Amino acid sequence: MSPFKMSYSMALMDSQVQALDIYEQAMGSEHPYVAISLNGLGRLYVYMKNYTQAEELLKRALSIRERVLGPEHPEVAATLHNQALLRYNQGEYAQAEELFKRALNIDEKVLGPEHPHVATILVGLAALLRDTNRVTEAVKLEKQIESI
């Protein structure tokens, strides 16, 4: 990672940690805003390859979102997608695929199959399929992405 990207990431991380602290103090540890901060910070940790910290934050975000918003909410899908990216980056392809598919099922059901969030999840799933030599399946998804 370049020095610029690293300093930007660190500044972003600092602001996310600050927001998390404020939300927890002001609204309690189970508030949806806390889950938003946890999810964003978790994704940032994935980007920075701090997978242990990312896993902890994303797990907590998912727990809050499922409990407060319900298991079929698009915000639950967003956290599942971030968990899928974490597992994908760790080379845990079977777990990543399951998480991509769970996120995809929620977003297709709630937002519709033509929604941009669906396309974003499909991009990750198609990359995973290519990385696991399932090119025919990947091509099918890539055509679906193009039609969105």
Please report which residue ranges of the chain form alpha helices under DSSP H. 3-27, 32-47, 51-69, 74-89, 93-111, 116-131, 135-146
Give the domain CATH number at 36.
Answer: 1.25.40.10
Q: What is the pLDDT of residues 104-125, one digit of tens each?
A: 999 999 999 999 999 999 999 9
Please determine, for residue 139, whether its predicted confidence score (pLDDT) is greater than 70.
yes
- What is the span of the domain harbouring residue 140? 3-146
Whole-number pLDDT of residue 20 = 87
Whole-number pLDDT of residue 11 = 73
Total count of domains within the chain: 1
Q: What is the pLDDT of residues 21-73, one digit of tens each?
A: 999 999 999 999 999 999 999 999 999 999 999 999 999 999 999 999 999 99
